[in-house]
Structures are given as C-alpha cells and as structure tokens.
Amino acid sequence: MKIALAQLNYRIGDFEKNIEKIIDFAQIARLSDADLVVFSELAVCGYPPFDLLKMNDFIRKCEQAVDTIAEKCFDIPILLGTPQKNSSGKGNPLFNTAVFLHQGKRKYFGKTTLSENIVLNEKHYFEPTTTIETLDFKGKKIAISIGEAVDLAIFSSKNPDLTIILSASCFDYTQAEKRAETIRNKALQLQCPLLFVNQVGAQTGFIFDGGSMAVSANGIIAQSLPFFEEKMDFVDIETLSDFKLKTDRHNHTSKVERIYHALILGIRDYFEKSGFRKAVLGLSGGIDSALVMTLTAKALGAQNVLGVLMPSRFSTDHSVNDAVALAKKLGCPHKTISIEPAFKIFQESLNPIFENRPFDITEENLQARIRAVLLMAISNKFGNMLLNTSNKSECAVGYGTLYGDTCGGLSVLGDLYKTEVFEMARWINRNEEIIPWNTINKPPSAELRPDQKDCDSLPDYNILDQILFQHIENEKSAEEISNLGFEITLVKRVLRMVASNEYKRYQAAPTLRVSPKAFGYERHFPIVMKLYN
C-alpha cells in the first residue's frame, strides 16, 4: 500500500485556499498511484484556530469544506483533520477529529487525549473521544490518532497493522529530538509501522516545522520529510514493515541553524498571511538590527526591506558606516534621518517644565521615542510593517524604551538571548562576511549618551544570559541560581529587573517563538507583585 504524507502550510480560516491546496495535493497523489493521502491535524481550517472554534459560522464553513473535498476527490481516499460537532449535548460542543473520505463514505476518528499546551488548550474547546475504532482499508487495520499522545493501552488492544498520527506539533529548538523519540517509542510499543504527518508554516508567533516521518515497527525512522518546507512524499507500507536499516533517515542540524530557518519561515509567513509585503526597521549599526535586516532580507527579498538610519549627536561614525555597509551588502534600500532637529525641539518644549534639570534617562528615552515616531510614520505612509529588533535579554530585564525601541508589528529576536544573537551572526558569517565583523565584535551600546555601553547598566551578557536562562527556562529561584556559582547579590538584582519589567512585556509585539519558554506564551506572571525586593 502506497500512502502520501502531505505536509502543508495552511492559513487559518482561509477555507478557499486551504481547500484548493488539499485538492491539488490529493490529485497529485492520485497521479502518483497513492492509495491514501494523509493531511495534518485540523487541516481544513488551519491550526490553531483558538476562539474561531466558538463561532457557528466558522464550524459551518469547516463542514462545507469537508463536503467540497469529498466531492472533488470522490475517488481519492483521504484522511484529514477537521472539527466535528458533538451532538450528544454533553461536554464541549466539538470533537477534534480525523475524517476518512472515499466514494461517499465518511468515517470520523476523534482525539482521545486532549492537549493543554501553549499552542491550544484543547480542553477549552473539544470533548475527548471515549471510543476507539480502526480503519479497515486495503486489507490493513489502521489505528488513527490525532496528536502524539497515543493511548497505548487502547490502541494496542486493537492490534493495528499500521498507526497514523495527524499532528500540529509546534517548533522549538529542542522539539525535533523529543518528537522523534516519542514517535519511535510509540512504534516500538505498538509493534507496528507508524506514519506521522505534521503541518508546516508559521501562525503568528507559532512556527510549525514539519518533519513528518515514517517509522518502522522496530523504531527506526525510515523516511522523513524536510523541516520548514511544504512537501509531499510517498511511503510504501510493505517496504516499511520489513525495514531493517539501523541508521535513522532524519534531518540533523545544529540549534543555530534550526532557529535561523525557523525565523525566516516565521517572518515570511507572518507577512504573507497578514497581507504585508515590505518591512521597515531602524538600522543602528548594532548587532540586533543587523541580524533582523539580514533575516528579513532572506525571507522577503532585500528590495522589500528598508533600513532607516537615525543618527543623533551620540552616534559614532563606525555605527553609521557599519549600518550602511550592511544595507549595501544585502542590497537593501536605506535612508538617513537625523533625529537631532526633533530632539532639540522636544528639549526646548520641555525645558520650562524640566527647569534645567540634568540630562538623564529621560532624554535617552526621548531619543528612542523620536525614532519610533519616525519609523511609524514611514510605516503608515508606505505600508511597510515596522519590525521590532529587541532581543530576549533586553525584554527580560526591561533594557528598552517603552513606546520607543519596543515598538513594532513583529518581534523577530524576542525569543533569542543576546549571546544567541551573536552566535547566529557568526554562523551567518561562517563562509563570508555578511554582517560587518565590526558590528559583531564591538561592545554593544544604545548610543543614547556619550560613550555609553550596555555593560554600564547590565552585567556582561555571558553572565546575564546564564542567570536569565536558569530563571526563565529552568524556573530557578535566586538561591538556586546562586548555588550554581553566581553571586547572590547580582542574581537578586537581575531577578528584580525581570519582575519589575513585566508591564513592558505585556505590551510587546508578537514574538516568533523558538525556545521552550518564550515570553507571551509559556511564561505568565502578574504585573503587580512583590518579589525579590
């Protein structure tokens, strides 16, 4: 039996295009003599639909989509994910299901173990299915699961010849290994071949990386689809059943390379699915804006990324030169607008109130907000989306001006620590200099006062990021972090900064999630709290 695994990129609620894509790939599979085509979880509507699932019209369109696909692909056996109404009157109004379509026949298979992960709290929308049925097809007994949480006891009792998992498994840089290990173990425990079909593409900040796979009964990944690409491939079940190779045929890449491809996919899909074509960002000559421009140029095309240099009296010549050199190297358009005239006018306007008080963080923030006003004006006038260039370290400790450098329609680096930003920049430059080495090697600075350096206000990023990682990702207290070898006074200072800047993160732009613990997704703290005083 030949089965097509369709790893596709859907747009949530775009039923017309989703239907067209599913039908097109089903027709291609038919021309390739596939016996069955498998699509991912909630493929009909796109995943995650959130509260759209509460709208009757949305569910009606899901039903109509299934009708259309069944009609247009009458002779092509299809298995795809869709919500189904729960007519029992008990529990939540929907089931998360896979539906088998062939020659007017329909059979639904519900999800038994609902997830409560960061992508979608399914218990808020769906009712779990309590009965498990298999699909008898082409002489095979096929067990069908939605999501990786297969109920092994129930599924094993059915003695399946094959198990198929329809999934929407979200990317983080640890997920590929964990997912592969889970799927391999399921195949071993069920003692049958297993097919795993994941969706690909970004949905706002969530990135789905694909990586669909076929696993033999002895737990070997015999076949895998690429990460971060829309792709369909074919699996011969008979060959898979006899698979003996001891080396997994799976994608193996470094952490930095995975994040690089995830961010490019995230940028590209966020723009395409939200209707934007061009981006604008403040190009300072620093490492963060340089990396954002490089990634965005790759995602959208260099001609669609405008870098705006906004020097002040504190900007150094080398920063301006580095910014121009990067724009020219990438082929991105760039403009220069001095903020000095606007800064002087604001100072003159505020002086009667400030009464000649000395220059402090107020004037530093004022410069950042002037830059934000200029960038948003360009965004409004030309329809370019403003990209936020803050990194996770800055977001964590509040090292950024609210309504200044926190502005933007998308945060590209908001889930990368500063040390990871440097690591990616060096990785990009591994074969040739793309980002000026001076940008990478010089001490980071906001350049908002004379001779300013980040290290004037923050611990060295190599130390800071280790403390932040232990606190944010590993959820360790100040005392636990100190026991790892960090000075307790420094640790408490950092944790106070994290706690006191929660209000800024509540107002942050949507962030492309690439780690297991991203701000705005897994981590939720109150703004008003007493902690680490």
Q: Do domains 2-244 and 258-454 have the same CATH topology?
A: no
Among the listed residues 475, 448, 304, the one whose alpha carbon sits nearest the alpha carbon of residue 384: 304
Between CA 174 and CA 82 the distance in angstroms is: 28
Residue-level pLDDT at 148:
86
Task: Give the global pTM.
Answer: 0.94
Q: Where are the domains of the chain?
A: 2-244, 258-454
529, with CB counted inside 10 A (0-12, 13-18, 19+), is exposed
Q: What is the DSSP letter of 245?
A: -
3-state DSSP assignment of residue 295: helix
- Asked whether 126 and 114 are in contact (CB, 8 A), the reply is yes
Among the listed residues 179, 269, 256, the one whose alpha carbon sits nearest the alpha carbon of residue 228: 269
- Asked whether 201 and 230 are in contact (CB, 8 A), the reply is yes
Between CA 22 and CA 7 the distance in angstroms is: 10
Between CA 309 and CA 321 the distance in angstroms is: 10
Beta-carbon count within 10 A of 507 CB: 10
511, with CB counted inside 10 A (0-12, 13-18, 19+), is buried
- Asked whether 521 and 421 are in contact (CB, 8 A), the reply is no
Structure tokens at 361: 């963080």
Among the listed residues 263, 210, 252, 229, the one whose alpha carbon sits nearest the alpha carbon of residue 420: 263
3-class secondary structure per residue, 411-443: ECCCCCCHHHHHHHHHHHCCCCCCCCHHHHHCC
DSSP class per residue in 373-389: HHHHHHHHHH-PEEEE-
Residue-level pLDDT at 153:
74
Q: Is the dihedral of CA 305, 411, 200, 277 positive or negative?
A: negative
β-strand pairing of 385-388 with 279-282: parallel
Structure tokens at 428: 């990009």
- Asked whether 474 and 467 are in contact (CB, 8 A), the reply is no
Sheet holding 279-282, edge to edge: 334-336, 305-309, 279-282, 385-388, 410-411
pLDDT in tens, the chain (533 residues): 999 999 999 999 999 999 999 999 999 999 999 999 999 999 999 999 999 999 999 999 999 999 999 999 999 999 999 999 999 989 999 999 999 999 999 999 999 989 878 888 999 999 999 888 899 999 999 999 999 888 777 788 889 999 999 999 999 999 999 999 999 999 999 999 999 999 999 999 999 999 999 999 999 999 999 999 999 999 999 888 767 665 555 666 899 999 999 999 999 999 999 999 999 999 999 999 999 999 999 999 999 999 999 998 887 777 899 999 999 999 999 999 999 999 999 999 999 999 989 999 999 999 999 999 999 999 999 999 999 999 999 999 999 999 999 999 999 999 999 999 999 999 999 999 999 999 999 888 777 777 777 778 899 999 999 999 999 999 999 999 999 999 999 999 999 999 999 999 999 999 999 999 999 888 888 888 776 65
User: Domain 258-454 falls in which CATH fold?
Assistant: Rossmann fold (3.40.50)
User: Domain 2-244 falls in which CATH fold?
Assistant: Nitrilase/N-carbamoyl-D-aminoacid amidohydrolase (3.60.110)
Q: What is the DSSP letter of 225?
A: P
